[in-house]
Amino acid sequence: MVQIDSLLHAGYHNPTTRPWQVERTLTKGSLMYPIFITDEADAKIAIPSMPNQYRLGVNRLEEFIGPLVAKGLRAVMLFGVPSDSVKDPFGTAADDPNGPVVLAITELKRLYPTLLVSCDVCLCEYTSHGHCGHLNEDNTINNTASVKRLAEVAVNYAKAGADNVAPSDMMDGRIRAIKQGLHDAGLSHRVSLMAYSAKYASALYGPFRDAACSGAQFGDRSAYQLPPGSRGLGRRAIQRDMHEGADMIMVKPAMFYLDIIRDAKELAPDHPIAAYQVSGEYAMIHHSANAGVFDFKTAVLESMASLQRAGCNLIITYFTPDLLDWLEQ
């Protein structure tokens, strides 16, 4: 005999009551689409490790982004993919006024003034050694020099018109330095700062490094990205960035780190929490669906539900074009 207080079905079997049980519903406005900008202005190059994703030249932005904006795209995040010839130990090309990111900011804001343009801020795409900051002679990270340069780059993206800057380098103290830089430049009232706070050293960045040509030439990123098994460091990094002036807090990757997303929501209940569903998560879902493991759309939507349930307000995902279509229906 089923006890009367064991009965749950009644509350969620009905198509109208079912959504009442869901804490957050997915909207187009909760999505941010990461895109790769190459310095070959006319190029549109498919990225083999990331199905349906491209490296786009500035002249190809309108045909690619226009239809998405028409479908309700509200925010993009830009990653520069410069040619090898401009890379040096200091990442000088990161904020080149004629480089891919600055040109793309200008072009996107000209075409779509209300589209939120966020820029990933890091040096690894621009350094010859492929690390995210400047190095000492013994190849350890020079944190002070790195922070100074990262703040300079962030401010220059903001000056070019970016609405949001999102440092992914994981140097200590860069949130405060960037916030101060924005303030000194008279931009702190209109440019927000999204901290990649809990960024773990993950196998899931593989396809991205291929897409952005940003792999480290020696060593790995374990001196600055967090150890996957650590919850405590994630929590400390979230609290630190919150106090240094971040406007939004991000956890990355997403699906293997749902507990950290929940921690972020609890530690920073008054901040928007972002989750970055990274390239490896995107590739995993694509390849699994193609292998018949599960239905593509069902799995993508379930992954979104899991991130929202964990507590995030904003999802950075390569599935954005698919989701815009599905949310339309």
Stretch that binds ligand PBG, among 15-23, 120-128, 135-143, 264-272 (CB under 6 A): 120-128
Region 274-303 residues binding ligand PBG, contact defined as CB under 6 A: 278-279
3-state SS, residue 197: strand
> Is residue 165 a contact point for Zn ion (CB under 5 A)?
no
Question: Is residue 122 part of the contact set for ligand PBG (CB under 6 A)?
Answer: yes
Q: Which CB sits closer to Zn ion, 132 or 324?
A: 132
Only segment of 4-12, 13-21, 204-212, 227-235 that touches ligand PBG (CB under 6 A): 204-212
Least distance to Zn ion, CB of residue 13, Å: 48
Give strand ranges (E) for 185-319. Answer: 192-199, 248-252, 273-277, 314-317
Among 56, 94, 132, 237, binds Zn ion (CB under 5 A): 132
In the complex, the smallest distance separating the C-beta of residue 42 from ligand PBG, rounded to whole angstroms, is: 25
* Residues contacting residue 282 through CB under 8 Å, at least 6 positions apart: 50, 53, 207, 317, 318, 319
278 binds, among ligand PBG, Zn ion, none (CB under 5 to 8 A by kind): ligand PBG
199 is known as an active-site residue = yes
Give the CA-trace dihedral at 298, 299, 300, 301, to 10 degrees: 50
Q: Give the number of residues in contact with ligand PBG, rule: CB under 6 A.
A: 10
**Is residue 195 at the binding interface for ligand PBG, with CB under 6 A as the rule?**
no
Neighbours of 278 (CB within 10 A): 26
Catalytic residue list contains 252: yes
Angle (CA) 235-241-243 rounded to 5° is 105
**Please, is 19 exposed, middle or buried when counting C-beta atoms within 10 Å of its C-beta (0-12, 13-18, 19+)?**
exposed
> Which residues ranging from 191 to 250 are in contact with Zn ion (CB under 5 A)?
none
How far is the C-alpha of 250 from the C-alpha of 10, rounded, in Å? Answer: 37
Site for ligand PBG in 250-279 (CB under 6 A): 278-279
Using CB under 6 A as the binding rule, whether residue 208 contacts ligand PBG is answered as yes
DSSP string, 52-113: T-EEE-GGGHHHHHHHHHHTT--EEEEEEE--GGG-BTT-GGGG-TTSHHHHHHHHHHHH-T
CA distance 101 to 119: 8
Q: How far is the CB of 151 from ligand PBG (least distance, A)?
A: 16
x/- mask, Zn ion, residues 92-131, rule CB under 5 A, reads ------------------------------x-x-------
30 binds, among Zn ion, ligand PBG, none (CB under 5 to 8 A by kind): none
Q: Per CB under 6 A, does 124 bind ligand PBG?
A: yes
Number of chain residues interacting with Zn ion (CB under 5 A): 3
Is-cis flag, bond preceding 34, omega within 30? no
Residue of 28, 109, 159, 252 with catalytic role: 252
Q: Give the contact letters, 209-238, x = binds to ligand PBG (CB under 6 A), - = no.
A: x-----------------------------
Burial class from Cβ neighbours inside 10 Å (0-12, 13-18, 19+) for residue 176 reads: middle
Residue 41, judged by CB atoms within 10 A of its CB (0-12, 13-18, 19+), counts as middle
Interaction site with Zn ion (CB under 5 A): 122, 124, 132
Query: Which residues are near ligand PBG by CB under 6 A?
Result: 120, 122, 124, 132, 168, 205, 208-209, 278-279
